[in-house]
Amino acid sequence: MNYGATSFRLGVHGMPNTAESSVVERDIALAKQTRGHVHVAHISTREALEAVRNARKAKLRVSAEVTPHHFTLIDENVGEFNTHYKMNPPLRSVADRDALIEGILDGTIDVIASDHAPHAFHEKEVEFERAAFGITGLETMLPIALTVLHHHFKLTLWRIVELLATNPARIFNLTGRGTLAEGSTADVTIFDPKKKWTFDASQSLSKSRNTPFDGWNFVGRPVATIVGGKMVYEG
List pLDDT tens digits, range 106-129: 999 999 999 999 999 999 999 999
**Domains, the chain, ranges and CATH?**
5-180 (3.20.20.140)
For residues 109 and 42, give the distance between their C-alpha atoms in angstroms, rounded to a whole number. Answer: 10
Stated as kind and residue range, the H or E segment containing 231 is strand 230-234
CB 62 within 8 A of CB 48: no
Ranges of the chain whose pLDDT falls below 50: none
For residues 51 and 26, give the distance between their C-alpha atoms in angstroms, rounded to a whole number. Answer: 10
User: Quick one: pLDDT at residue 84?
Assistant: 97
Between the CA of residue 207 and those of 11, 126, 139, 217, what are the distances in Å?
32, 19, 12, 21
123: left (phi over 0), alpha (psi -120 to 50) or beta: alpha
For residues 84 and 210, give the distance between their C-alpha atoms in angstroms, rounded to a whole number. Answer: 6
Residues in Cβ contact with 195 at an 8 Å cutoff, skipping those fewer than 6 apart: 219, 220, 221, 223
For residues 17 and 63, give the distance between their C-alpha atoms in angstroms, rounded to a whole number. Answer: 19
User: Quick one: pLDDT at residue 235?
Assistant: 85
DSSP assignments along 31-56, one per residue = HHHHT--EEE-S---HHHHHHHHHHH
Q: Indicate which residues carry an active-site annotation.
A: 115
What is the rounded (10 degree) CA torsion for 156, 158, 161, 162?
-100
User: Quick one: pLDDT at residue 152?
Assistant: 98
Residue 16's nearest CA partner among 69, 71, 86, 93 is 93
User: Quick one: pLDDT at residue 231?
Assistant: 97
User: Quick one: pLDDT at residue 190?
Assistant: 97
Tens-place pLDDT, residues 63-107: 999 999 999 999 999 999 999 999 999 999 999 999 999 999 999
